[in-house]
Structure 1
Amino acid sequence: MVDVTLDDSDGSTVVVKLQTETWELNIRAPLADLARLHDIRQADWASRRSLAVGTCAGSPVFWTANEDQATILIGHDDETWDIGISLPIETVDEIVRLAGERI
Structure 2
Amino acid sequence: MTYKLILTTCPDLASAHLIAEGLVKLEIAACVNILPTIISIYKWQNNIEQSAESQLFIKTNESNWPKVESYIKTNHPYDVPELIELDISNGSPEYFSWMDNNLQQGE
- Whether these two folds match at TM > 0.5 is no
TM-score, normalised with respect to structure 2: 0.28
Report which structure shows greater RCO (CA 8 Å, sep ≥6).
Answer: 2
Q: Which is strand-richer, 1 or 2?
A: 1
TM-score, length of structure 1 as denominator length = 0.29
Structure (1 or 2) with the larger CA radius of gyration:
2
